[in-house]
Each structure stands twice: as C-alpha cells, then as structure tokens.
Amino acid sequence: MNPYSRCGQIWRKFVISFFIFAFLLQTLEPFLQYMKQDTNCIAEIDNSFVDIVQILVDLSNFIFILHVIIKFKTAYVDPESRLLVYDPIKVVYYRGVDLCIDFLFILPDSRELVQDILSEIELSAEAIGVFSFFMYLAVLWRLSVFAEPSVGAFFESWSSKFVVNLVAFLLFSHVVGMFWYFFASLRVEQCLEEACGEPWCSDYISCEPADYNPDFIFNLTLLSKWKNNKNAMACFGPDGYNYGIYVQAVGLMKNSTMPMRYIYSLSWGFQQISTLDGNQTPSVFVVEVLFSTFITAMGALLFSFLIGNIQRFLQAQGSRSFENSLRGSDIEQWMSHRQLPDDLKSKIRDSERYNWLATRGLNELMLLENLPEDLQRDIRRHLFKFDKKLPIVASMDESILDAIRERMKHNTYIEGSRVLVRGGLMDKMVYIVQGKLESTSEGETVVPLSEGDVCGAELITLCLEHYVLNRDGDKFTIPAGKLVSKRTVRCLTNVEAFTLRAADLEDVFSLYSGLLIQNPLVQGAITKESLYPKSLLRSRSY
C-alpha cells in the first residue's frame, strides 16, 4: 500500500487518534483515589471506569496487531533514492526497529508488563512512579514522531499549527498533573505509615485492605485505635507533613470530585510548564526535586519548539511584507524619476494596492504551474465558466476550451478604468471575476456587466472567421474596421478579471483549426453570428 494514499493517511490518523485517546483514559486511574478523614485511609472510587479502561486496553491490543500487519504491507520511501520500496523483505527489515519501539511504548499491555516486573523486584512505589513518568514521556515522544507526517500533510495553516502546539502542551500538562497527583497520594501514604510505626497500621491505610492483603482479618479494636490516631489525622492537613509542592494536591484529595481533581491537576501541570516551575519550592525529597527539575526542563523544551514555530511564521510573513515594501519603494522611485503627475501616481498606487488585495501577494501562475496538469485543468474549468454565456464557445470541443483557459491571464482594474474604448483597438476578451462595469454602445445604450459576464466576446467570432476564410492558405486579413471597438466599457468599482489577448486566441485556433472547421456546431454558430456573406463562409467551410 502506498503510504501517501488516501486510505493510508486515514488509517494513520485513526491509529494516532485512538492511541492518544487510550493513553489519556489509561492515565486517569490515579484520580480515582481520594482520602477519607473519618477512617484515616485512602479510598478508591467504586465504578465501572476500571472495566472501561481494561476493555480499551484489549481493543488497543487488537488495533495494534492490525497496525503491525498494515505497516508490513505499506511501502516506505528509500532515504537515498527517494523512491517507494514495495519489496516485502525490505519493508520488514526497514520497519522492524520502528515496530519494536511501538511495541515498547505505545502498546498498553507492554507498559503494564514493565510495571509488573518492577513490582516483582520490590522497588519502592516512588521509584516505580519515576520510571513510569519517564515511560509516559517516551510514549508522548513516540506518538508525536508517529504523527509528524500526518501533521505535515493535514495541518498546513498556521492556525492549525497553533492548535497542534496547544494540544502538545495539554498532553504534557496532563502527564505532569497526573503524576503530581500520583506522587501526592504516595506522600500521604508515606505520612500515614510513619504516623503509627507499627506493622498492623499498613493494613488500614487502604480503605479496602482485603484487596491488597488476602490474609487480612478485620479487628474492630485496631480500627478504632487507628481512627483516633492523632498523627494519622494530622496527615490530612497542610502542616501535618512536609508535602512540598504537593500541598494543594493533598487538599484536593479530600475535598473534591474526580472531574475536579483531574481539571485542577491539568491546570496545575499547564501552569508549571508555562512558568518553568518558577512558583514552586520543592522539599528535600529526591523524587520531588527530580520531578520539579524535569518540569522545568520539559517546559523549556516545549517553549523552544513553540518559539521556533512562531519565528518561522514571522520570518515567512516578514519576507513577504518586505518584498511588498521593496516593490512599493521601487515604484515610488520610478514614478519620481519619470516625473509623473500626482493624479497618475495616485491611480498607480490604487492599482498596486488593489492588485495586492486581490492576489494576497500570491503568484497564481507559479502556484498553478507547480500543480499536476490534470489538477490545473480542473481548477481552470472551475474558474472560467464563460462557455455558458457564449453559444459559440459552448459548441467547441473541451480540449479547445482548455487551451483557451490556459492562456487567460489575471488582471485587475481600479474604479474608473476603461477596459475597452470606442474607436480603440479591440485586442482582448475580458472575463469578469469580481466587480461591476458598464458597457456604452454607439447609440448610448448602457448595459451593466458583473461577475461571470464577458466583454469583447466578438473577438472569438472574428478569429474563427479568419481561419475559415483562410483554409486554402491564401493570405487573409481581418478588416481593420472589425477590430475597432464600437463601445466603451468602464469600471464602476474595482474589478478583478481574466483577460485573453487576440494573439493568444489566434494561436489556439491555428493549433486546432482542423478540429474547428470539422465541427458542424461551430460552423453553424459562425454562419449565424458572422458579418461576412453566408455564401462565402459556406463555400470555405466545406
């Protein structure tokens, strides 16, 4: 499968979105824990959230298997030749390392397996938490690398890039806030363990001790003694233990619902990354100091990416603005050098200003030339629908119309400009894209023109007559009187249009003269609209 095909891109976006969603849900588990002050223990919300997460993990495993199969069936771009490689053996060899990394970081079961292994070797809860923190950061890094081609292909606008940066900030804030709450619960648990100092106390730190100790036997006397333990009760206050940067999280654990715990933790993480942890002073605990240090480093890294993107945007905008300013300066110098009068200078400035607004400084011709030919043809067919206005054009073959559209050039006219002048040379046909004009004939009849209208369309008939009457190679000259415009076309507003010169039109008809002459619909239209004797046209046509 081609990785740049529509199907491949849709699958890639689906996998990225699904694994990000699964990652977010899986990291919500710490927020299920809260504190019960009446029994001095840590409880866990009894709901179906854990079951939902487990179903999602199983579904993630299935989608990951599909991802592996599809990835082995997808071609890759050779770094040296820049060509797509479809050989299955080469694809497996090339994709092998990536899939191993995906298995280690993206697959939920692999993360749970690593955590189980760490638990078996009897590491402390804080050590496992630190390892999990780095592992989740690695997951975000891998997802960002995996999503990078899709971001380049589907998020071209700067507003979308801003959204991507904001989402990256939120994802890292989510991880930081989640571990802030998780480390706070570990600190509370540590405080409760130190509050009693006897082995039996550890069974009552959890509100459901039977879930963690199968040999637990409920003892009402010990429970009452634990409830009245003043040291344990002090753990639920900000001054009862050295909580450091977790003071607010401790208050959050005992006085809020799960949605509030998550939202506040996310806000805390976003705030710390944005301020580079500048408003927090950690206590003298190694894990807390390391956690605070990495928040600062991660915030600096994210800000460097954000500033880099902003800098590239400003450079691109500044370059275009500088080019426009330089062109304006050159025009001003030229007008001064030629000593043009003020009214002409004003019109030139207005014309340049409107041309910039109409094109936004973009060279449309260069843009079209960089696109595939079939796409260029479709765009021009969408832009130029003048064939509906002109019967003689509607009777032509589509290939001739495409050749005509290809030679049309973008042009702008300011208010008051005259596109055609009575008695002047009619050397172009104008297709109006935007704006209003008026056409005044010799009899002072005024005809309004607007978007989609065409002026100078009789030029097509004149050129067709020329090639019909000149079939046998005899020299034929269009009478000068026929090229003289019999009307004045004036712009009532600023006008955006596409023009077709007579020379370009003659060039098209010379290339397709045989096809035009053999078309009976074109012959009928010429005979109907021509000012030449119909007998002459018929004799030349057959």
Q: 193 versus 5: which is more confidently predicted?
A: 193
Whether residues 423 and 302 share a domain: the answer is no
Label residue 265 exposed, middle or buried (CB < 10 Å: 0-12, 13-18, 19+): buried
Task: Single out the residue in 313, 348, 373 at which a domain terminates.
Answer: 313
Task: Single out the residue in 289, 313, 337 at which a domain terminates.
Answer: 313
Query: What is the mean predicted confidence (pLDDT) over 295-321?
Result: 75
Residue 361 lies in a domain: no
Mind listing the pLDDT tens digit for each residue in 96-117? 666 666 666 556 666 666 666 7
Residue 100 lies in a domain: yes
Whether residues 109 and 235 share a domain: the answer is yes
Whether residues 181 and 41 share a domain: the answer is yes
* C-alpha to C-alpha distance for 81 and 85, rounded to whole angstroms: 10
Query: What is the mean predicted confidence (pLDDT) over 385-399?
Result: 71
Whether residues 306 and 405 share a domain: the answer is no
Mind listing the pLDDT tens digit for each residue in 341-351? 888 888 888 87
Whether residues 309 and 389 share a domain: the answer is no
Whether residues 416 and 518 share a domain: the answer is yes
Whether residues 397 and 483 share a domain: the answer is yes
Residue 262 lies in a domain: yes
Whether residues 404 and 264 share a domain: the answer is no
Residue 238 has pLDDT above 60, yes or no: yes
Residues 26, 53 contacting (CB under 8 angstroms): yes
Mind listing the pLDDT tens digit for each residue in 31-43? 888 888 777 788 7
For the chain, what percent of residues have pLDDT higher than 70?
Answer: 69
Residue 367 lies in a domain: no
Residue 360 lies in a domain: no
User: What order of strands is seen across the sheet that includes strand 487-491?
Assistant: 418-420, 487-491, 437-441, 446-449
Position 153 confidence tier, pLDDT thresholds 50, 70, 90: very low
Residue 355 lies in a domain: no
Query: What is the mean predicted confidence (pLDDT) over 221-241?
Result: 78
Whether residues 80 and 177 share a domain: the answer is yes
Mind listing the pLDDT tens digit for each residue in 58-91? 777 777 777 777 777 777 666 665 566 666 676 6
Give residue 276's pLDDT.
77
Phi–psi pair at 44, nearest 5 degrees:
-135, 135
Query: Structure pTM?
Result: 0.59
Residue 319 lies in a domain: no
Task: Single out the residue in 313, 346, 371 at which a domain terminates.
Answer: 313
Mind listing the pLDDT tens digit for each residue in 424-464? 888 888 888 888 999 888 777 888 888 888 888 788 777 77
Give residue 15's pLDDT.
78
Whether residues 493 and 390 share a domain: the answer is yes
Position 541 confidence tier, pLDDT thresholds 50, 70, 90: very low
Instruction: Quote the domain boundaries for residue 151.
Output: 6-313
Domain count within the chain: 2
User: Count of CB atoms within 10 A of residue 143's CB?
Assistant: 20
CATH number at residue 469: 2.60.120.10
Residue 345 lies in a domain: no
